[in-house]
Amino acid sequence: MFSRREFGKIALAGLPLSLALADINPKVSGVRIGVQSYSFRTMSLDDAIKAMSAIGIGECELFSGHVEPRPQMPGGRPPGPPPGGGRGQMTPEQQAAMREAMQKAAEETRKWRLTVSMDHFKDVRKKFDAAGIKLQAYNYSFNDRFSDEEIDRGFQMAQALGVKIITASSTLKAAKRVAPYADKYKITVAMHGHSNLTDPNEFAKPESFEAALAMSKYFAINLDVGHFFAAGYDPVAYIEKQHARITNLHLKDRKKDNGPNTVWGEGDTPIKPVLQLLKKKKYNIPANIEFEYRGDDAVAEVRKCFQYIKDALA
């Protein structure tokens, strides 16, 4: 039976009792399993937390879009690329309108970041605590357009959220500017890679990650096994080599040779071998579901991904 304090926590989270009673699994067969909240990008933060509770996922890497204002772009698109990258084709006129809207959105977001009270982030942490979900990292993607003040505020936000890890879809150029702040705050920044092998400023190749690791002892790797595999690399071998500097994984299934995101099990990414490696070696590395393939019901699709993980580790 729930105590009065426990009922209070449930009320604070805004969760129905049936969801609070859900079987939240911080580990599956000894492997830490979580979710990148970007998977629930069309939902509010409160609804995303409810979804995690309903599915039974016990850890979360928090997408900044769930706590920052999200100005709408032309056609209703949110600003900037998703953590997974990729955009459809647009006409030159649409591209110009998008660039103008993105610039305006960036200015509005910068103003918000520099003025928002840290109580906002403390309240976010309380929601996760009340739901019994571990907040493992904050996904705040430093890019080349960030001001020094925005970089600094990112670390203050992480402190207010009570996390010691920031994951970032960043660049090598931006990483050089971020390094002194990571050293100052003693907060780990884990670089997230994609599969763009043509831009030397992007994180994609093992060499790009190694360049970042040399910049600060607080720099680490947020390895996306789908992107890494699609770029032509072996995520299993790389995890074995760099496990001490990997903070967490993003799990997704992609076709080889820079192929598309697919429903799990329909692509070529070795998700099951990755999970079995974590289990065998007992690596304390969270593996986070990141739902990016086409699908209308995020909750249903993440639930399928979670079941895939359970089956792979059975």
Q: 11-57 pLDDT, tens per residue?
A: 344 444 444 444 687 899 999 999 999 999 999 999 999 999 999 99
Using DSSP's 3-state secondary structure scheme, residue 224 falls into: strand
What are the tokens at 203? 């994180």
Kindly report the CATH number assigned to the domain that includes residue 26. 3.20.20.150
Q: Which domain holds residue 216?
A: 4-313
Amino acid identity at 108: E
Please write the tens of the pLDDT for every residue from 229-250.
999 999 999 999 999 999 999 9
Neighbours of 47 (CB within 10 A): 15
Position 98 confidence tier, pLDDT thresholds 50, 70, 90: confident
Q: Is 235 exposed, middle or buried (0-12, 13-18, 19+ CB in 10 A)?
A: buried
Q: By the 8 A CB rule, do 188 and 166 touch?
A: yes
- CA torsion angle 67 8 119 56 (round to 10): -30
201 touches 226 (CB < 8 A): no
Helix 45-55 to helix 298-313 angle (10° resolution) is 40
Whole-model pTM?
A: 0.87
Task: Report the sign of the C-alpha dihedral through residues 182, 71, 249, 210, in that order.
Answer: negative
Q: What is the pLDDT of residue 94?
A: 87
Indicate the pLDDT class of residue 95, thresholds 50, 70 and 90. confident
For the stretch 107-125, pLDDT in tens is 999 999 999 999 999 999 9
pLDDT of residue 136: 97
pLDDT band at 89 (very low <50, low <70, confident <90, very high): confident
In whole angstroms, what is the distance from residue 206 CA to residue 200 CA? Answer: 12
Domain count, the chain: 1
pLDDT at 191: 99
Q: Give residue-wise pLDDT tens across range 188-241.
A: 999 999 999 999 999 999 999 999 999 999 999 999 999 999 999 999 999 999
CA 184 to chain centre: 23
Q: Which of 133, 154, 140, 9 is nearest to 60 (CA)?
A: 133
Rounded CA-CA distance 243/102 in Å is 36
Inform me whether the pLDDT recorded for 10 exceeds 50: no
